[in-house]
Structure 1
Amino acid sequence: MKKTLVKWLAAVAALAAVVLVADSMVITHENEYSVIRQFGKVVDVRSTPGVSLRMPLVQTVTKVPDTVLLYDLPLSDVITQDKKTMVADSFVLWRITDPQLFIQTLNGQVGSAEARLSTIVYNSMKNTISSRTQADVISGRDGELAADIKAGVGDTLAQYGIELIAVETKHLDLPDDNKAAVYQRMISERGNIAASYTAQGESEAKKIRSETDKEIEIMLSEARAQAETLVAQGEAEYMKILANAYNDPGKADFYAFVRSLDAAKTSLSGGNKTLFLTPDSPLAQVFYGE
């Protein structure tokens, strides 16, 4: 019976030893901190991945995220400098940089940290947007607005062991009851701009057509003048050739004969006509000879 009791005690001791050894092991993953507490007080923070030891029964382990966290901020109304209400839908990226301070101030609760983030980031967003007109807010969506909101937060979150990495806006829109009126106004404004561009285009087109017609008229006038000059030159050359031909004694009789025939043809053109010539007429001399 003593042997049995000894065996049982040995088994219990072995089991207790295993439990104590297991309880003394601390496994730290890559994306977390292992915070060691002793009687509620933080005595060590371990961030290196791997297995380490702690004092069993005396020390406890609390896990804190060591990674970038995303928090989707609640939808919130903000008012611009020109008193226009807009609805902001944003999110933040943040991380815990000081686990001990995070535990001391927020009891290591991510939910508590998100509540502080919501309040602080919203106040910065409200102040940033209230200093801009609606048009400036819309045009600053591409990063300038987010950078100014982040700058407005500053190092406020450092007191909680938190770092704000980025503030991003998913939607920055008008309230539903204002959208229709604003869209209609935007459509009207765009219509006025389009009409202005159309009027400018028509004015430019009219100006171009007028200048083109003027250039064409000038070109036609120059062409007509050049044609008249060429005709005059041709007629002058013709008269010169004709004069030279008539002044040639050897061809004078022939040209006289041709001219007489042309004159007779002109006199007899039309209806029934009779040509009367006296014997001494030069034209009669052509037909009858001397």
Structure 2
Amino acid sequence: MKNRIGLIASSILLLLVIASSMLYVVDQRKFAVVYALGEIKEVVAEPGLKFKLPPPFQNVVFLDRRILTLDSPETRPIFTAEKKTLVIDWLVKWRITDPRQFIRNNGVDVRNAENRLTPIVQAAFNEEVTRRTVRGVLSTERDKVMEGVRARLADDAKNFGIEVVDVRVKRVDFSANITDSVYRRMESERKRVANELRSTGAAEGETIRADADRQRDVIIAEAYREAQKVKGEGDAKAAALYAAAFGRDPQFAHFYRSLEAYRQSFRNKSDVMVVDPNSEFFRAMRGLGAPAAAPR
């Protein structure tokens, strides 16, 4: 009895294992490729629970149907139409559209397709870049370069069983030896511009200083002229006042002039003068009045 129960349990277990090997689930992000004795029998794209024959009669392999990214593996120099060397980092967006063709050309490993596609993409970039100048690749014709590469990849992509969704240039730079010469040229150009600005500034500074000196001389000359004019008018008024005052009292005028003469003569204490005390010079000191006017 126990042997019979064990045999039944073993049979049920075997049936469950066989039934589970006949079922598989297709994810919406995958293709299911059904093999029958080593040949592709069916490609299933619809998601859900599916049935097949148990191994070794049928096997299932899954392929990713999402958009995949291929990056440039290394920076390789490319020559432009001007014989300048550029280094371009790129990426390609692609996806599997024909699983049968993809497997026939690349197997089930995506890396095989990427290894074969990389040199083709690099060759397409070489052909597009060598037709253009550095300026075109960097700015004006950058979109055309990417469109041209994508167009060149279209036929090869069909042979691979894939579709190239997009091609992008991530970075464009000069190679190391070109970069140094470009930096040196930029440095010399900036120095030249700086020297021109310094020369222009020095010339303008000299012009401003010369104009300021001229204006200063003009202002000083005008001020001196005005000062001399005012001084002359003051001296004339003073002379008129003196003449009017002295005309009213000639003796006072003589006395005042004598005092001025004494002040000028005895300005320094160390001066020595030998003069006759009875001379006319000391007349005011002796208390005498002004000399009599000569008869007309």
What CA deviation, in whole Å up to 9, does each residue of 1:193-229 have, x standing for no partner?
A: 2441243133113212211211221231132123213
Q: Secondary structure at the match of 1:263?
A: helix
For the pair 1:121 / 2:141, whether they are aligned, the reply is no
For the pair 1:62 / 2:61, whether they are aligned, the reply is yes
The answer to whether the 8 A contact 2:246-2:253 is kept is no
Q: CA deviation at 1:17?
A: 3.0
Q: Secondary structure at the match of 2:45?
A: strand
Q: Distance in 2 between matches of 1:45 and 1:96?
A: 12
What CA deviation, in whole Å up to 9, does each residue of 1:124-168 have, x standing for no partner?
A: 20012202335655x45xx96476235422234552232343434
The answer to whether the 8 A contact 1:124-1:149 is kept is no
Aligned to 1:163: 164
Q: Secondary structure at the match of 1:288?
A: coil
Q: CA deviation at 1:90?
A: 4.4
The answer to whether the 8 A contact 1:42-1:100 is kept is no
Q: CA deviation at 1:60?
A: 3.6
Q: Distance in 2 between matches of 1:32 and 1:134?
A: 42
Structure 1 stretches of 5 or more lacking a match?
none
CA 1:172–1:256: 2 relative to 1, 3 Å? same
What CA deviation, in whole Å up to 9, does each residue of 1:157-192 have, x standing for no partner?
A: 552232343434567553x7xx2xx46644553453
Aligned to 1:199: 195
Identity %: 20
CA 1:93–1:29: 2 relative to 1, 3 Å? same
Structure 2 stretches of 5 or more lacking a match?
291-296
The answer to whether the 8 A contact 1:33-1:64 is kept is yes
Q: Distance in 2 between matches of 1:91 and 1:195?
A: 39
The answer to whether the 8 A contact 1:96-1:162 is kept is yes
Alignment-mate amino acid for residue 18 of structure 2: L
Aligned to 1:95: 95
Q: Distance in 1 between matches of 2:282 and 2:221?
A: 41
CA 1:80–1:249: 2 relative to 1, 3 Å? closer
CA 1:268–1:7: 2 relative to 1, 3 Å? closer
Q: CA deviation at 1:35?
A: 3.7
For the pair 1:232 / 2:228, whether they are aligned, the reply is yes
Structure 1 residues 168-187: aligned runs within 5 Å: 168-169=169-170, 172-174=173-175, 179=177, 182=178, 185-186=181-182
TM-score for the superposition, normalised by structure 1: 0.72
Structure 1 residues 75-154: aligned runs within 5 Å: 75=74, 76-86=76-86, 88=88, 90-99=90-99, 102-103=102-103, 106-134=106-134, 137=137, 139-140=138-139, 145=142, 148-154=145-151
Q: Distance in 2 between matches of 1:238 and 1:268?
A: 28
The answer to whether the 8 A contact 1:35-1:99 is kept is yes
Q: CA deviation at 1:243?
A: 3.5
Computed over aligned residues only, the root mean square deviation of the Cα atoms, in angstroms, reads 3.9
CA 1:19–1:170: 2 relative to 1, 3 Å? farther
Q: Distance in 2 between matches of 1:256 and 1:66?
A: 132
Q: Distance in 1 between matches of 2:248 and 2:259?
A: 14
Runs of 4+ in 1 over 6 A off after TM superposition: 276-279
